[in-house]
C-alpha cells in the first residue's frame, strides 16, 4: 500500500509540473528560505498548494542540483519566518529528465491568518504571491476562524457548570460600563456573547468566564507564578532559584485579580518625603503590570494544552510569558499601532467586565507609564509559540521630566534613544518606528522642537536633533 501511494503521489507531482504554475502550484528554482516562506504563507491563507522546488518557470530542471540538507535547512528557516507556524508535510522527490530531482512540498489550507515575521500578509493570486493591504487583511481575518476555538463546545460541560454569582457580577459590571442594566433573558445574553452555542451547550469562552473552576476542562488556562532570588532561574548548586512558587486557578476575572494581588504582595515599595508628605514609589507602575497580565490572559492561545501563562519575578525585572505567538499580522514593530486578537469574544467579555479601559490603547499606555516612572520601555519577545513582556525595575537617576506626559509613544521612544545616544536623525527615527509614514514622524519631531524639548541642528540631509 505504501509503495502504491508513493507511485500515486509521484504521478500526481509529475502532472502538476506538466500543468505549470497556478493558484495551487508554485515552481521555485532554488531552496531559498524567504521565497519558500512567502509561498507557504500565501498558500496557507488561500486554498493550500504544492511547491515544486528545483524547476524553472517552464517546469524544466535547473542546472544546479538541490542538496537535501540545503532543502531541510531552507524549510526550517522558512518555518521560523512564518507567524504562526505552518504545518507542512514531508518533502517528496520528483524524478526529472537528465536524472535530476526536484522536490514537492505540500502546504495545507489553514484556518488561521498567517503572516511573515515582518508583518506582511500574502495570498496566492494566479501564479503570484500577492501582499494584502490593511482593509484586505481585516477582511481575510474576519473570513478566517482564528478566534473560533473560544467558540468551540467544551465536551462534558453543561450550563449547570456556570456560576450564577459570576454571571451576576458580569451583568453588574456590564451595566456599570454601558450605563444601562440588561433586562432580557440570561440564556439570550449567553448566546449573544458566545458563552453557549445555538443548542445551549457551554463554549470555551463561557467556561473561562463563568465557571468557578475552568481548569477542570482547560488545565492550560491557569497561571504559574515564581519569584526568583536573583537575576536567573538557577540558584546555588544547580537548584531552582525561586523563593516562592504559586499555581493560580479560577475564571479569567478572578485569575487577573489573584495574579495581580500576588505580584503586589511581592512588589518592593520605597518611600520619599516631599515637603511634609510621605510618597510611596512602587517597584513597577501598577497600570503596566495589570496591562501585562490582562494582555496575556486575553490573547494567549488557549489551544496549546501543554503550557500555562508564566509570571516570573526576578530581582531586576518582571516577565509575563503567554503561550502562543503574536496573532495574524501583528509584529513587535507594529504592536502599538495595529490591533488584532485571536480571542475577540474573550477580549470583549473582559472589556465589559472593566478589566480593559479602552480597546487598543493598552500597550501604548503601558509604554507611557513606564517612561513617566523613569523606567526604560517594556521589551517584547515574540517567538512562534510564545510572547513575553518584560518590565524592568531600574530607574534612571533622575525621574522622567514632566514634559514626557505630553509626548506620544513614538516620541517617547525617540527621547529614550536620545538619552542613550545623544542625538537622533530622521532616518534613525524611521528605523525606530517602522511602518509609520515619514510625514507623521517628521511632524512628531517638529512638535518636540515647538515644545522646547528638542533642538534642531543642521539643515536638509545633515539635520539632526538633540535634547534642549
Q: Using 50, 70 and 90 to split pLDDT, how confident is the model at 5? A: very low
What is the spatial distance between Cα 287 and Cα 357, in angstroms, rounded to a whole number?
Answer: 10
Shared domain check, 137 and 104: yes
Q: CB-based contacts of 82: which residues, under 8 Å, 6+ apart?
A: 37, 40, 41, 44, 114, 115, 116, 117, 384
DSSP single-letter state for residue 199: T
Q: Which pLDDT score, from 0 to 100, does residue 412 have?
A: 81
* pLDDT tops 90 at residue 331: no
Shared domain check, 427 and 365: no
Q: Can you give the CATH number for the domain in which 387 is found? A: 3.30.565.60
Shared domain check, 226 and 368: yes
57 class by beta-carbon count within 10 Å (0-12 exposed, 13-18 middle, 19+ buried): exposed
Range of the domain at 25: 2-144
Helix, strand or coil for residue 398?
coil
**Cell 467544551, residue?**
154
Shared domain check, 375 and 229: yes
Of 129, 144, 159, at which residue does a domain stop? 144
Shared domain check, 386 and 285: yes
What is the spatial distance between Cα 280 and Cα 262, in angstroms, rounded to a whole number?
Answer: 19
Classify residue 438: in a domain, yes or no.
yes
Query: pTM of the entire structure?
Result: 0.61
Shared domain check, 153 and 87: no
Shared domain check, 374 and 239: yes
Q: What is the mean pLDDT of residues 113-142?
A: 86
Of 188, 216, 244, at which residue does a domain stop? 216
Cell numbers for 96? 526529472
Q: Which pLDDT score, from 0 to 100, does residue 62 have?
A: 85
Shared domain check, 190 and 119: no
Cell numbers for 263? 505580584
* pLDDT tops 80 at residue 269: no
Shared domain check, 411 and 387: no
* pLDDT tops 90 at residue 398: no
Shared domain check, 286 and 270: yes
Classify residue 16: in a domain, yes or no.
yes
The count of structural domains within the chain is 4
* pLDDT tops 50 at residue 1: no
Q: What pairs with residue 129 in β-bridges?
A: 124
Q: CB-based contacts of 361: which residues, under 8 Å, 6+ apart?
A: none
Classify residue 462: in a domain, yes or no.
yes
Of 216, 248, 265, at which residue does a domain stop? 216
Q: What pairs with residue 211 in β-bridges?
A: 162
Q: Using 50, 70 and 90 to split pLDDT, how confident is the model at 327? A: confident
Shared domain check, 406 and 326: no
Classify residue 451: in a domain, yes or no.
yes
Element at 260 (helix H, strand E): helix 252-266
Q: What is the mean pLDDT of residues 198-223?
A: 96
Q: Which pLDDT score, from 0 to 100, does residue 405 have?
A: 56
70-86 per-position pLDDT tens digit: 999 999 999 999 988 88
Q: Using 50, 70 and 90 to split pLDDT, how confident is the model at 227? A: very high
Share of the chain above pLDDT 90, in %: 42
- The Cβ of residue 350 has, within 10 Å, a number of other Cβ atoms equal to 22
Helix, strand or coil for residue 74?
helix
Shared domain check, 294 and 255: yes
Classify residue 397: in a domain, yes or no.
no
Classify residue 26: in a domain, yes or no.
yes
Q: Can you give the CATH number for the domain in which 108 is found? A: 3.30.950.30
Amino acid at each position: 500500500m505504501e509503495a502504491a501511494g508513493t507511485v500515486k503521489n509521484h504521478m500526481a507531482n509529475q502532472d502538476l509540473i506538466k500543468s505549470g504554475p497556478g493558484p495551487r502550484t508554485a515552481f521555485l528554482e532554488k531552496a531559498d528560505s524567504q521565497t519558500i516562506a512567502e509561498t507557504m504563507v500565501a498558500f496557507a491563507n488561500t486554498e493550500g498548494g504544492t511547491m515544486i522546488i528545483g524547476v524553472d518557470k517552464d517546469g524544466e530542471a535547473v542546472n544546479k542540483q538541490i542538496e537535501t540538507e540545503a532543502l531541510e535547512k531552507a524549510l526550517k528557516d522558512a518555518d521560523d519566518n512564518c507567524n504562526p507556524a505552518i504545518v507542512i508535510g514531508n518533502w517528496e522527490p520528483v524524478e526529472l529528465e537528465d536524472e535530476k530531482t526536484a522536490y514537492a512540498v505540500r502546504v495545507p489550507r489553514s484556518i488561521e491568518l498567517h503572516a511573515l515575521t515582518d508583518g506582511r500578509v500574502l495570498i496566492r493570486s494566479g501564479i503570484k504571491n500577492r501582499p494584502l493591504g490593511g482593509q484586505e487583511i481585516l477582511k481575510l481575518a474576519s473570513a478566517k476562524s482564528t478566534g473560533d476555538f473560544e467558540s468551540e463546545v467544551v465536551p462534558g460541560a453543561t450550563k449547570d457548570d456556570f456560576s450564577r454569582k459570576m454571571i451576576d457580577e458580569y451583568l453588574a459590571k456590564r451595566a456599570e460600563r454601558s450605563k444601562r442594566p440588561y433586562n432580557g433573558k440570561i440564556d439570550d445574553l449567553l448566546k449573544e456573547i458566545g458563552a453557549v452555542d445555538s443548542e445551549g451547550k457551554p463554549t470555551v469562552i463561557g467556561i473561562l468566564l463563568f465557571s468557578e473552576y475552568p481548569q477542570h476542562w482547560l488545565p492550560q488556562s491557569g497561571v504559574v507564578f515564581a519569584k526568583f532570588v536573583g537575576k536567573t532561574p538557577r540558584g546555588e548548586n544547580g537548584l531552582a532559584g525561586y523563593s516562592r512558587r504559586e499555581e493560580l486557578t479560577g475564571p479569567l476575572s478572578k485569575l487577573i485579580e489573584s495574579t495581580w494581588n500576588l505580584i503586589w504582595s511581592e512588589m518592593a515599595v520605597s518611600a520619599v518625603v516631599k515637603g511634609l508628605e510621605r510618597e510611596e514609589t512602587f517597584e513597577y507602575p501598577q497600570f503596566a503590570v495589570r496591562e501585562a497580565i490582562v494582555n496575556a490572559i486575553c490573547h494567549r492561545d488557549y489551544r496549546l494544552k501543554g503550557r500555562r501563562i508564566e509570571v516570573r519575578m526576578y530581582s531586576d525585572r518582571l516577565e509575563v510569558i503567554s503561550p502562543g505567538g503574536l496573532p495574524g499580522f501583528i509584529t513587535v514593530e507594529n504592536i502599538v499601532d495595529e490591533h488584532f486578537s485571536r480571542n475577540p469574544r474573550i477580549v470583549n467579555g473582559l472589556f465589559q467586565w472593566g478589566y480593559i479601559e479602552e480597546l487598543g490603547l493598552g500597550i501604548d499606555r503601558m509604554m507611557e507609564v513606564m517612561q513617566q516612572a523613569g523606567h526604560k520601555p517594556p521589551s517584547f519577545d515574540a517567538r512562534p509559540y510564545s510572547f513575553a513582556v518584560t518590565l524592568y525595575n531600574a530607574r534612571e537617576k533622575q525621574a522622567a521630566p514632566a514634559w514626557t506626559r505630553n509626548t506620544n509613544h513614538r516620541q517617547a521612544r525617540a527621547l529614550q534613544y536620545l538619552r542613550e545616544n545623544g542625538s537622533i536623525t530622521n532616518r534613525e527615527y524611521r528605523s525606530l518606528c517602522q511602518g509609520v509614514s515619514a510625514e507623521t514622524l517628521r511632524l512628531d519631531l517638529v512638535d518636540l522642537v515647538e515644545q522646547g524639548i528638542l533642538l534642531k541642528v543642521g539643515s536638509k540631509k545633515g539635520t539632526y536633533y538633540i535634547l534642549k
